Structure 1
Amino acid sequence: MSVRPYRDIYRRKSRQIHVGSVPVGGDAPITVQSMTNTLTTDVEATIAQVRALEVAGADIVRISCPDKESTEALKKIVPEVTVPIVADIHFHYRRGIEAAEAGAACLRINPGNIGSRDRVREVVKAARDNNCSMRIGVNAGSLERELLEKYGEPCPEAMVESALNHARMLEDEDFFEFKISCKASDVFLAVAAYSALAEACDYPLHLGVTEAGGLQSGTIKSSIGIGNLLWAGIGDTIRVSLSADPVEEIKVGFDILKSLGLRHRGVNVISCPSCARQQFEVIKTVEVLEKRLAHITTPLTVSVIGCVVNGPGEALMTDVGFTGGGRGTHQVYINGLPDHRLKDEDIVDHLVEMVERKAAEIEAAEAAEEDAESANENRAAAAAAS
């Protein structure tokens, strides 16, 4: 009997669209996004927040465009940032047209909410003319009245029907560059709705547990909901909705992907919770270390373990390992092997130096590999031409 490897996640096959230069769906990496909370008309503040999200690793950033002044501001914002911008359109179809013309890479808009078929056609034309994709955003808290009357309450069936109704309006206009979200603040409802939607269509899916809460509670709810779906192979882009600094949403999003082995960015710190056996202050060391390593984007793993019970075993599977030892002298591992000893007073500074050195080695090796591949391609092209 064949047994499926326990770490394998088989992603649902979806069609691929583009949000600006960023592919979403198909075999593209799962993207991480967030949304600004500044007034869009405050151009400087909005640009600053988008740039902070870019530094954190955001692939896509959404900006609210509730009025004409906001879509006018997009004209100034878009040229000043590198990440593709999604314009969040509420109900007015003109805002969708204006945002597409102002440089938005995607419109978050529900066709059924903006009026007549002619208005939908106008928005689709603006999107098509400006290489702009769309996101249909279904939310359990704002379902259409007729669906609530039909089903009695927000439920997976009502949410999926709403999504497919909106999708059909775009399909009727021969427009297929869109993704769909089906969010709810209830984890069970969100997971059930996305699971049913994944069965019903092949469009890329934008995952999220909406209005999840504060930094801690929202992280937990989002990790359970988004994590369950990703583990099942469902999802092409994610947004963690937190009542916190939007940069935290990006960090949590990448941590969710990192935990499932779906995407790696930066340092993955494996650390123990500490106990009476610890030979150094584990909690304080890890707290400072994570802040000091936040600038590193190269994927690598560091283990920080307080004693020799689990330390050597964890170090076997990490790029840089650190295990507490007796008499204030600890063991440092490189690539799983014991490398040298270290005294108490040098822990954080020394580990930062070791991780930075390891990251530089990895980057240099990747660059050399890319150069070799490029050279091979050039030789092959020259040989074919001769």
Structure 2
Amino acid sequence: MRRKSRQIHVGNVAIGGDAPIVVQSMTTTYTRDVESTVAQIHRLEDVGCEIVRVAVPEKEDALAIGEIKKRIHIPLVADIHYKHSLALEAIRQGIDCVRINPGNLINGRKSLEQIVAACKERGVAMRIGVNSGSIDALDQRGQMQRIQVRLRDDGVLERTDPAEARRNEREHLAERMVTKALEYISWCEELDFREIKVSLKSSTVLTAVEAYRRFAQRSDYPLHLGITEAGTLVTGSVKSSVGLGLLLADGIGDTIRVSLSAEPEEEIPVAYEILRSLELRNRGVTFVSCPSCGRVEIDVIQVANEVEKRLSKVQSPIHVAVMGCVVNGPGESRDADVGLAGGKGRGVIFRKGEVIKTVPEDQFLDAVLKEVASLLPEREAKLVYPEGGIQETAGQHRTRTEGMGLPILKS
């Protein structure tokens, strides 16, 4: 069961309560470069991003927010560090939410009070972000030394078991993060401000999970989930899927971001796949394909990758399957809205459980996408299957022999 959190709004997007879990990202451009920033946000919008954050390290970046806001269609969050004056300018420019870590603001609580006053005046939300790396280093070193040794009953100090030490370290750090977040929230509540969401990020998956779980037991403020500095496309996707998946399966989380060292558009499909796999959002393509094995009689890897790529901008819920043999293929394909079960250089096309035709291997892509397009709204259908059909370039289609180095099996 999903944790019941209080609901706030970032722009026109509801967060928490019974609102859907929201997918976010962050631009990689210099915010002052309005053209590049707007273009990147438009690409994010195309793949389903619902809130986007921009870095605001300098005044020029804050001053660009007004123009950016005019040209995008999703709420905008300003990422602020150190200088509260940048938050105030971003708010004047019409930002929908400010992300701050009160612990790294110059003049700390005094600066936070000015930001809160501006947020209240303009109806702007706030994200309080506490990262494990921002917890006081001296406090951490002293505590880590205590965690790594323990006092026996006979008064002798001995080194703690390494696994136990790591667990103790993780729990201590998570507790410090939660304590800081609750302290910052109390500062805001004393100023009668509660339009707050909270993040408790760490690059260590289990530390982040521990922190979020502890916070969820002690507060009802909505939570933004993320594993910070998660890594490249593969590494970051795995770490985010594990960390966010554990929390979401426990009912914890109101917004998510999959942080990747990649183009931000790459983050969105991973986020939606996490939500779909847990049946928390029914948006976009549920895609099933077999992993390929010695039974496969078509180049399923090539076909599956190309179909998935062509469907990347589809936001309507639809189930598509690409299968490469007669063992699991017919069953999986029959359960999909559109399915392909291939074998011996030919494939059966299913539509909502019914066989509609058999096509040769060089027509797989065209046949699958044409059927998918027929089930989509007109705008999305044109993205998937343009007029005139799918134009394959020379060498785009490969037989099993060319694509996988294996012979076509004969009956």
On whether the aligned pair clears a TM of 0.5, the verdict is yes
Measure the CA separation in 1 of the matches of 2:87 and 2:120. Answer: 12
Residues 269, 312 of structure 2: 8 Å contact kept:
no
Q: Which residue of 2 aligns with 1:260?
A: 278
Q: How does 1:61-210 map to 2 (within 5 A)?
A: 61-114=52-105, 115=107, 117-144=109-136, 148=140, 151-152=143-144, 155-210=173-228
Residue 363 of structure 2 corresponds to residue 341 of structure 1: no
Aligned to 1:224: 242
DSSP 3-state at the match of 2:331:
helix
Aligned length, in residue pairs: 354
- 2:346–2:361 CA contact under 8 A, matched in 1: yes
Contact 1:332 1:341 in 2 (8 A): yes
Q: Do the aligned residues in 2 keep the contact of 1:317 with 1:335 (CA within 8 Å)?
A: yes
Q: Counterpart of 1:277?
A: 295
Which residue in 1 is equivalent to 2:263? 245
When structure 1 is superposed on structure 2, of 254-263 and 141-150 the one drifting more is 141-150
Deviations 1:171-222 (Å, cap 9, x if unpaired)?
Answer: 1111000100000000111111111111110000000010001111111111
In structure 2, relative to structure 1, the CA distance for the partners of 1:52 and 1:360 (3 Å cut) is closer
348, 353, 357: which is aligned to 2:374? 357
In the alignment, is the contact (CA less than 8 A) between 1:144 and 1:162 conserved in 2?
A: no
The within-5 A match list for 1:22-37 is: 22-37=13-28
Q: Distance in 2 between matches of 1:198 and 1:148?
A: 23
Query: 1:89-138: per-residue Cα shift (whole Å, max 9, x none)?
Result: 10111111111111110000123433254432221111111111000000
Per-residue Cα deviation, 1:53-84 (whole angstroms, up to 9, x for no partner) = 11111100000111211111112211111111
The CA deviation at 1:297 is 1.8
- Report if the CA contact (8 A) 2:47-2:314 is conserved: no
* SS of alignment partner, residue 155 of structure 1: helix
Q: Deviations over 1:232-254 (max 9, x none)?
A: 11100001111110111112111
Check conservation: 1:147, 1:162, Cα contact below 8 A: no
Contact 2:196/2:221 (<8 A) preserved: yes
Aligned amino acid, residue 121 of structure 2? D
RMSD over aligned CA atoms reads 1.9
Shift of 1:262: 0.9
Q: Secondary structure at the match of 1:324?
A: strand
Q: Any conservation in 2 of the 1:105–1:133 contact (CA below 8 Å)?
A: yes
Structure 2 counterpart of 1:128, which letter?
K
For the Cα contact (< 8 Å) 1:332–1:342, is it kept in 2?
A: yes
Q: Distance in 1 between matches of 2:178 and 2:243?
A: 17
Q: How far apart in 2 are the matches of 1:287 and 1:296?
A: 15
TM-score (structure 1 length as normaliser): 0.88
- Higher-Rg structure is 2
**d(CA) in 2 for partners of 1:81, 1:278:** 46
What CA distance in whole angstroms lies between the structure 2 residues aligned with 1:33 and 1:310? 36
Where does the alignment leave 5 or more consecutive residues of structure 2 unmatched? 145-168, 382-411
How has the CA–CA distance of structure 1 residues 104 and 147 changed in structure 2, closer, same or farther, with 3 Å as cutoff?
A: farther
C-alpha change, 1:194 and 1:90, in structure 2 (3 Å) is same
Alignment partner, residue 330 of structure 1: 347
**Which residue of 50, 57, 60 corresponds with 2:48?**
57
Partners of 1:137 and 1:295 lie apart in 2 by 30
Counterpart CA distance in 2 for 1:281 and 1:323 is: 12
What SS is found at the alignment partner of 1:359? coil
For 1:36 and 1:334, locate their aligned partners in 2 and report how far apart those are by CA, in whole Å.
39
Give unmatched runs, 5+ long, in structure 1: 1-9, 365-386
| 1:36-64 deviation digits (Å, cap 9, x = unpaired) | 11111111111111111111111000001
Task: Give the distance between the partners of 2:35 and 2:358, measured in 1 at CA.
Answer: 49
